Copies of this chain bind each other. A is one copy, B any other.
Amino acid sequence: MSVKLHIPGVNDMTTETKNTFALNQWYVAALSTELVDQPLARTLLNQAVVLYRDDSGTVWALDDRCCHRALPLSHGTLEGKAIRCGYHGMLYDGTGQCIDVPGQNTIPKRAKVNSYCIEEKDGLVWIWFGDEGQSEPLNSAPDYPVHTSGEYVWGGGVFYYAAPYQLIHDNLLDLSHLGYVHLLTIGGDPNTHMTADMKTTVDGDCVTVVRHMRDSTPPPTYLAAYPFNDKIDRWQEIEFMPSHLRIWTGGVNIGEGHLDDPNRGGFHMRGFHGVTPETESSAHYIWTIATNPQTDSDAILNKVVDQTALTFEEDKVVIEAQYQNMLKFGNEPMVSIHVDAGATHARRIIEKLRTRA
């Protein structure tokens, strides 16, 4: 059961036979809504990139460094399908090729920057870095029909974590913390969470944790968004994949639905959680939350998004404090308890995917 986290300053991250990150994965680079008419600077997996949407709507990702004097291209301006540096005006197309050097007719042969594969799907912008020799994606970027099926309304945001990405995995795979950390929103009675029916399964690089909490008191966010009668049957279905998680939670009036029925009614919160490392010790948390209001759709969506943001801010405080404390105390042993099963599987998968070919 003892699978160590790779925590900078505590355990070293990279070895001769391991990459720093699981590289052959699609990672979430941004929400589609973040890219309108301005370039966006974001460091992803230790690589500073500039993302931009060209005038035909296509999104591009380049190294965020002009090859002339190293100014970030994200300080520049968009022109048609290209981006122009804000220092001496060199112009790059979406493949990273320099296509104009103001004041001279020839373009130096070396005047280009790296570009990365982008796929935009269902409101998410995905990026592929790839392992040595695998800059072409091995597969298509993931679908996320929750955003586009019409069953749900949704919103989201991007949080910055001054903590390693695997601590976010731990947090999301172990929702027993809701009763201690999130009392004001989606928590509820701690004992309900700690004694939930829990089933953990592993399928390839995916871990699923299903938790059922029958006959429990609906927490504040649930009561604010849905007309429950009294006690409810709650579910939490957590799917972990190496670069993101999907978490479907919700509740039905007690006895009114089978928690195993995929078409069950009641109140739904479907979370998407892109957990994209910035560096070994920091991460972007690119999230959305979708719900199914019975009435007054805008107001309920706003409430659900606001309370979700509040909940994630509580997680951020805990996880950043946890990381600072890990740095302070160093590599002291951690004692596992029964709710850690899903997180332990996830760590094994990341460990395996970091291994070099």
Q: Is A352 an interface residue (CB 8 A)?
A: no
* 1/0 contact string of A161-175 vs chain B (CB within 8 Å): 000000000100010
Whole-angstrom CA separation of A318 from B321 in the bound complex: 32
Also in contact, A180 and B85, with CB within 8 A (given A104-B338, A335-B110): yes
Also in contact, A180 and B88, with CB within 8 A (given A108-B335, A325-B65): yes
Q: Is A199 an interface residue (CB 8 A)?
A: no
Q: Is A99 an interface residue (CB 8 A)?
A: no
* B87:A337 contact, CB within 8 angstroms: no
* A332:B190 contact, CB within 8 angstroms: no
Whole-angstrom CA separation of A37 from B333 in the bound complex: 30
Residues of B within 8 A of A64 (CB): 325
* A326:B70 contact, CB within 8 angstroms: yes
Whole-angstrom CA separation of A30 from B325 in the bound complex: 21
Whole-angstrom CA separation of A87 from B325 in the bound complex: 13
Contact of A180 among B87, B325, B338 (CB under 8 A): B87
Count the copies: 3
Q: Is A177 an interface residue (CB 8 A)?
A: yes
Q: Is A48 an interface residue (CB 8 A)?
A: yes
Interface residues of A in 81-115 (CB under 8 A from B): 84-90, 101-104, 108, 110-111
* A65:B329 contact, CB within 8 angstroms: yes
Q: Is A71 an interface residue (CB 8 A)?
A: yes
Also in contact, A88 and B177, with CB within 8 A (given A70-B329, A170-B69): yes
* A48:B194 contact, CB within 8 angstroms: no
Q: Is A258 an interface residue (CB 8 A)?
A: no
Interface residues of A in 118-171 (CB under 8 A from B): 170
* B103:A194 contact, CB within 8 angstroms: yes
Name which residue of chain B comes closest to A90, CB basis.
B337
Also in contact, A334 and B103, with CB within 8 A (given A176-B88, A325-B65, A329-B65): no
Minimum C-beta distance from A64 to chain B (A): 7
Residues of B within 8 A of A337 (CB): 68, 88, 90, 101, 103-104, 108
Q: Is A191 an interface residue (CB 8 A)?
A: yes
* A321:B170 contact, CB within 8 angstroms: no
Residues of B within 8 A of A103 (CB): 176, 191, 193-195, 337-339
Residues of B within 8 A of A88 (CB): 174, 176-177, 180, 194, 337, 339
Name which residue of chain B comes closest to A85, CB basis.
B180
Whole-angstrom CA separation of A104 from B336 in the bound complex: 12
Q: Is A181 an interface residue (CB 8 A)?
A: yes
* B318:A75 contact, CB within 8 angstroms: yes
Query: Which of A179, A325, A338 has the most chain B CB atoms closer than 10 A to its own CB?
Result: A325
Interface residues of A in 312-357 (CB under 8 A from B): 318, 321-322, 325-326, 328-329, 332-339
Query: Which of A70, A72, A103, A110 has the most chain B CB atoms closer than 10 A to its own CB?
Result: A70
Q: Beyond A88-B194, A102-B190: 4 further Cβ-contacts under 8 Å?
A: A48-B329, A67-B335, A71-B321, A103-B176
In the A-B complex, list the 3 residue pairs whose CB atoms are closest, starting with the nearest: A103-B194, A102-B194, A67-B335
